[in-house]
Amino acid sequence: MSTFPISIPRPTNPTGVWNWITTIDHKKIGIMYGITAFILFISGGIEATLMRIQLAGPELDIVSAAIYNQLFTMHGTTMIFLAIMPLGAAFFNFLIPLQIGARDVAFPRLNAFSYWTFLAGALMLKLSWIGGATDAGWFGYAPLTSIDQNPGTGIDFWIISLQILGIASLAAAFNFIVTIINLRAPGMTWMRLPLFTWMSFITAILLVLAFPIITVALIELTLDRYFAFNFFSVANGGSVVLWQHLFWVFGHPEVYILILPAMGIVSEVLPVFSKKPLFGYATVVLAGAIIAFMGWMVWSHHMFTVGLGPVANSVFTITTMLIAVPTGIKVFNWIGTIWGGSIKLNTPMLFSLGFIAMFLIGGLSGVMHAVSAHDAQQQDTYFVPAHIHYVLFGGAIMAIMSGIYYWFPKYSGKMFNEREGKLHFWLMIIGQNLTFFPMHFVGLDGMPRRIYTYAEGMGWDLWNGISTLGVFILIAGFLVMINNLGRHWRNGPIAPADPWDARTLEWSIPSPPPEYNFKEIPIVKALDDWWITKQENPEKVASIDEGSVGYSDGNHGIHMPQASYWPLVVSVGILIAAYGVVFNNFIMPWFLAGIGLIISFIGVYSWSLEPVNDPDESSSH
Amino acid sequence: MSQTHTPIHGEEETTSTGLNHRKMLMWAFLGSDCMFFGALIATYLVYQGKSLVGPYPIDVFDIPVTSVSTFVLLMSSMSMVLAYAALTKGNMKVFRIWMASTAIMGATFIGFQIYEFSSFSNHHVHIDCMNQSHELTAYEQELYDSGCKDGVDHIDSDSGLKPKTNLFGTTFYTLTGIHGAHVSLGVIWLLSILLLSFKKGVITPEKNLDVDLAALYWHFVDIVWIVIFTVIYLFGVFPGF
């Protein structure tokens, strides 16, 4: 079938870079997500380091106030949208098809589109440092973002790149929802689904429902800035509080979008290294679903000091305290899992245990400012960054590190160095507590967040100095990690299929998995099916590595979806259009935006008319 | 059980639930779009009655005209159903006729919307200060109170409703404009399918999923309009409704 409207020969068995650019293999896309997000994580870390250096002592003058504002805004936006979310997406991509016994995701080309669009949004946001980045805080409160207060292009870049990242996240979320519902192997019933897949499913539903709300908020802000609409214009009766509501109705589910995948990772790691099934599997699943549901009822706890009144504040205090219950259930289940197990304290396990401890501290400070009266004392002080960093760094990042080490043999096919892994863990746990714990003290002591410097003699000097010292320990930890994993990805010892004696299906295939994942789609008989299979036939493990199952000889007539250019073309069109919105007077009004839209349109048409497999390439046609 | 090859086309896929991938994605997308319109309608309602200056909904809305365009849009949903039914029965000619009429009715709705936007933005108020032919709206009363002084026998006021005029203009044009963009996209989609149906073997009684999905989207956009027409137009003109 000829492709319309323009015809480009389809990439057939591309090599080198083109292999990665045109790939629609979920494992490769997962690895690209992971590496890109890790680089962006480092960039967000550099922004944080500059801020900590500026705050190391009183009245330092290393960065200006204007740059400092850009630093904290970009740091927050980067870490949330460009680091933790896509690191989660990396795991979704790599693991979900493997865990449910599928050959790929439901829409492989849409998956490639998600990655390229994410990359477009990321590039756009980070490149906005040239010419002045956004400086209104990561939640961009009106009227700091209005055209009068903030005429530069920084805010425009922030708005448009968040919209693009939203498209990428939504496309990915649709894809994973359909994949998990529809591509489960025979016998993989809902209550046999691995916990990580469960949490990913819940996260995808949250994404689908929460992202449209920030999309609307950003559209309104765009119309205000570009066409003088009145949404957030107080002079014309607009309300700046509306922005806060829209932002946090999205923003609080977003918190669970960040933490649920982390909880999923920990729920995979703990049972494996405790040699016990997850304690109360059904309860952990249900607690995750309840967290996601209740996550919609707590948004105004971000706005306790706005003046919504005692009734609203009381209601949101109660709902916020209630959401600690399902979270607590999970923590108890994790403790129940390791209780009495034969615990193996290796790197992934240490990180998961560290997660529980750090997340618990963040959870407790969360319950503290769930009390609206108490929160009035903490609002906009360093106590809040202390909380969010215990939850998102001590929580999400620790769990992601656990996952990076735990699945390293699977995605790289090599083993990492255990001693260096443990060193990374200890540097990280010491570094983060030195960095973030003192923020509780200076916060309760009244140090406001987002200030670029502070006077001497406030009693904040020592604690700020310690915080900055902690950052350098963290940096040392990450250098150890990069060295360890980078070196061993190339030259490490070959990993067996199932180095950890694990429980889920991804460990029943070789490391790294072949392109088609499973030669035969497994038939699932129980929760932790691979573990049970091993108990029944212990010789089965050895046979994968010896190749007698026959995974390595050709691809057995398994037809995988073919590579495609079109997802990339659509993403490039979106990137051009996005720049066209920011520079809307380049050559002629809306010139670039129009060009970008036309490219995307051609891409969408050609994509939808391109068969998943070309008939002449496929014997089944 | 060994599955030796991955099925190729949407219609042939074997899935855990028996439901088609693309159809499920469409439902997920519609769920997402519900939240999208929900947030837009919520914004409209939050700002309802908060405009500092006129004109207000009662000044510009012309319920009979919008009722006609609403009727046209709802009828297009019916012709969409008939198109799909004709396709599944294998009657390609009738299918194409109903597809074309669905697209035409969608385009007619957009035409009405363009007319409506331009008439709202050129809204003009004439008040005879000496004897009033009709009961004044709140906005006209404001104009009357400020304009009708001694020696003035009538007021002619350019009272066009523009997005920047007031909160009503801002929220109204945003909400209905984005809905109009959805309808326009739907028209392009329907026409694309109509064109494709002339190509052999692309749209057949068995391969009807493309039409099915477009129909789902089309009905969704219609349902959203029912909410908009009720909440924004009818409640705006009949406050006690």
Angle at A387 between CA A375 and CA A150, to 5 degrees: 80
Q: Which of A55-59, B98-102, B191-195, B202-206 has the lowest mean pLDDT?
A: B202-206
Cβ-contact A415, A365 below 8 angstroms: no
For domain A25-549, the CATH architecture is: Up-down Bundle (1.20)
Q: By C-alpha distance, which of A568, A571, A564 is closest to A164?
A: A571
Of the listed ranges A53-67, A491-505, B207-221, B226-240, the one predicted with least confidence: B226-240
Percent of chain A with pLDDT over 70: 94
- DSSP class of residue A296 equals G
Helix, coil or strand: residue B132: coil
C-beta separation of A192 from A212 below 8 A: no
What is the pLDDT at residue A111? 94
Q: Which two tokens stand for residue A195?
A: 């916990």
pLDDT score recorded for residue B238: 84
Distance spanning both ends of chain B, measured CA to CA:
62
Confidence check: pLDDT of B131 > 90? no
Helix (H, G, I), strand (E, B) or coil at B128: strand
First to last CA, chain A: 12
| Cβ pair A230:B166 closer than 8 A | yes
Instruction: Tell me the C-alpha distance between A539 and A400, whole Å.
Output: 32
- Going by C-alpha positions, the residue among A66, A71, A78 that lies closest to residue A49 is A71
| 3-state SS track over A410-432 | HHHCECCCHHHHHHHHHHHHHHH
Whether residue A143 is preceded by a cis peptide bond, meaning omega within 30 degrees of 0, is yes
Cα–Cα distance measured from residue B146 to residue A575, given in angstroms and rounded to the nearest whole number: 51
pLDDT number for residue A143: 92
pLDDT value of residue A22: 87
Architecture of the domain made up of B40-123+159-237: Up-down Bundle (1.20)
pLDDT of B3 > 50? The answer is: no
State the pLDDT at residue A6: 52
Q: Count Cβ atoms within 10 A of the Cβ of residue A261 and give its class: 0-12 exposed, 13-18 middle, 19 or more buried.
A: buried
- Does A314 reach chain B within 8 Å, measured CB to CB? no
Is any Cβ of chain B less than 8 angstroms from the Cβ of A450? no
Lowest model confidence (mean pLDDT) among A287-296, B28-37, B197-206: B197-206
Q: Which long-range contacts (CB under 8 A, 24 or more apart) does A535-542 make?
A: A541/A497, A541/A498
**pLDDT value at residue A71:** 97
Closest CA to A91 of A243, A211, A261: A261
Say what the pLDDT of residue A556 is. 53
CB contact under 8 A, B5 and A227: no
How many CB pairs below 8 Å do chains A and B form together? 136
Handedness of CA B30, B33, B35, B38 (dihedral sign): negative
In this prediction, residue B236 carries a pLDDT of 87
Q: Which residues of B touch A523 (CB under 8 A)?
A: 1
pLDDT in tens, B144-158: 888 888 778 888 888
- Contact, A516 vs A560, CB < 8 A? yes
pLDDT recorded at residue A552: 40
Q: How far apart are CA A214 and CA A166, in angstroms?
A: 8
pLDDT in tens, A494-540: 999 999 999 999 999 998 999 889 988 899 999 999 999 888 887 77
| Low-confidence residues in chain A, pLDDT < 70 | 1-9, 12-14, 542, 545-559, 612-621
Cα B98–Cα A603–Cα A207 angle in degrees, nearest 5:
85
Instruction: Return the number of other C-beta atoms located less than 10 Å from residue A533's C-beta.
Output: 18
How far apart are the CA of B153 and the nearest CA of chain A, in angstroms?
31
Q: Is A602 at the interface with chain B, CB within 8 A? A: no
Tokens standing for residue A209 = 């429902």
Instruction: Give CA–CA dist A269/A271, Å, rounded.
Output: 6
pLDDT the model gives residue A619: 37
Residue A447: C-alpha distances to residues A50, A73, A443, A453 (Å): 19, 18, 5, 10
Confidence at residue A131, expressed as pLDDT on a 0 to 100 scale = 85
Residues 6+ apart with CB under 8 A from A368: A374, A378
Residues B109 and B226: their CA atoms lie apart, in Å, by 13
Angstrom CA distances, A61 to A55, A254, A453, A596, B111, stand at 9, 35, 8, 42, 60
| d(C-alpha B56, C-alpha B69), whole Å | 21
Q: In this structure, what is the dihedral angle of CA atoms A242, A244, A245, A246, given to the nearest 10 degrees?
A: 80
Alpha helices (H) in chain B, listed in sequence order: 21-46, 57-60, 63-88, 92-121, 138-147, 167-196, 209-228, 235-237
Question: CA-CA distance, B168 to A375, in Å (whole number)?
Answer: 36
The nearest CA of chain A is from the CA of B151 a distance in Å of 32
- The predicted-structure confidence for A168-212, as pLDDT tens digits, reads as follows 999 999 999 999 999 999 999 999 999 999 999 999 999 999 999
Residue A237 and residue B50: Cβ atoms within 8 Å?
A: yes
B198's CB contacts (< 8 A; 6+ apart) are: none
Q: Domain ranges in chain B?
A: 40-123+159-237
Across B82-86, average pLDDT: 96
Contact present, A179 and A100 (Cβ < 8 Å): yes
Asked whether the CA dihedral A415, A264, A571, B213 is positive or negative, the reply is positive
Assess whether pLDDT exceeds 50 at residue B189: yes
Instruction: Round the CA-based radius of gyration of chain B to a whole number and report it.
Output: 24
Smallest Cβ distance to B4: which of A557, A561, A612?
A557
Backbone dihedral angles phi then psi of residue A360, each to the nearest 5 degrees: -65, -45
Model pLDDT, residue A520:
86
Is the pLDDT reported for residue B138 higher than 90?
A: no
Fill in the amino acid letter for A483. N
Beta bridge partner(s), residue B156: B126
- CATH 1.20.210.10-classified regions of chain A: 25-549
For the entire predicted model, the pTM comes to: 0.93
What's the pLDDT at B12? Answer: 46
Q: Does B126 touch chain A (CB under 8 A)?
A: no
